[in-house]
Structure 1
Amino acid sequence: MYPKKVAQDTAKVLQSYLTYQAVRTIIEQLSETNPTQAIWLSQYSSTNKIQDGEAYLNGLMTENKELVLRIMTVREHLAEQVLEFLPEMVRTGISQANVEHRRQLLERLTQ
């Protein structure tokens, strides 16, 4: 097992997910203040690979620099709010899920 590689891959996935959440937040905000831009960002996001947050931002940079700055700001804010709780939540979630899966497995084995 390569814990450092797993951690790097996990961090990249989380970073992309926070980018996605930032975009969703901004689309929601824009739908109230600037519906045209909200529609544009929503359409842009549906046709560009938001699964890779960094590639998404690089592509958006050529289209709308202001939105890129806004997304980065919101993403950073989300990271500050979430990352404090994440390690314990992940450990607890995995532990509880494993207990439940083991219980189900034992039930199936004893039937």
Structure 2
Amino acid sequence: MVRGICVAGSPILDSHTSPYVCLVARASSPNLRRKQVGKKLSSSFMDSRFPAKAVASKKQKRVKGFVIVNSLGGQYEDETFSDVKSQIFNLFTLTAATTVLNQLYETNPTQYRWLNDFVRINKPTNRKRFLLILQKENHELAERVMETRLHLFAKWVKNLDHDQMYKDLSDQNLELMRERLMETVKWPSDDTNT
């Protein structure tokens, strides 16, 4: 469900929690069109700005002089959340590598130094590349990191409270909107003499 639109580079949003469709006006004059393409599009739920030209190059549908762009990131109607799943796997790989490093620090200083140097060079945030290279260089430690990652994931799933997580996210959103509202409101001065 789309609750907002972005027309000719200026966002008009009625909700901070839903995706929006971006409409880029097609101008008949090349100069006018060039000015519109030069404008930046923004989203209230992302801290980045996208040039209109880059956004308009995605899958488009033309409707009476407008281009409807419906392939912006974060629209998951028919998706499997593969990007979220990938980030979760990356996080568990990083956590597993840190856990194994802490264990090795106490039990095997030589392997600790080797793995510490390896982690600094090959970032565990790219899990697939990290584990492939680790398997080639030290198969035993790679298996240990993978087993630790699986164990940590199972422990996380067991302790995950979906309702509480939803409530926490909702509360955070509400608090952020409240803080933003408080920043925009002009309070009357406290001076009673005037």
Quote the residue 1:107 is aligned against. 182
Match among 161, 171, 175 for residue 96 of structure 1 = 171
Quote the residue 1:48 is aligned against. 122
Runs of 5+ unmatched residues, structure 2: 1-74, 187-194
Deviations 1:52-81 (A, max 9, x none): 111100011110000111111110000001
Give the total of aligned pairs: 110
Match among 137, 145, 150 for residue 71 of structure 1 = 145
Task: Say whether the 8 Å CA contact 2:97–2:124 is kept in structure 1.
Answer: no
Structure 1 consecutive aligned stretches of length 4 or more whose deviation exceeds 3 Å: 86-90
Quote the residue 1:82 is aligned against. 156
Q: Using the TM superposition, give the Cα deviation of residue 30 of structure 1 relative to its aligned residue in structure 2, in angstroms.
A: 0.5
TM-score, scaled relative to structure 2: 0.53
1:28 lines up with 2:102 in the alignment:
yes
Q: Using the TM superposition, give the Cα deviation of residue 92 of structure 1 relative to its aligned residue in structure 2, in angstroms.
A: 2.7
RMSD: 1.6
Q: Which has the higher strand share?
A: 2
User: Among the aligned pairs, what percent are the same residue?
Assistant: 30
Runs of 5+ unmatched residues, structure 1: none
SS at match of 2:155: helix
Give the Cα–Cα distance (whole angstroms) in 2 for the partners of residues 63 and 89 of structure 1: 42
Q: Using the TM superposition, give the Cα deviation of residue 89 of structure 1 relative to its aligned residue in structure 2, in angstroms.
A: 5.0
From the CA coordinates, give the structure whose radius of gyration is larger: 2
Q: Which is bigger in relative contact order (C-alpha 8 A, separation at least 6)?
A: 1
SS at match of 2:137: coil
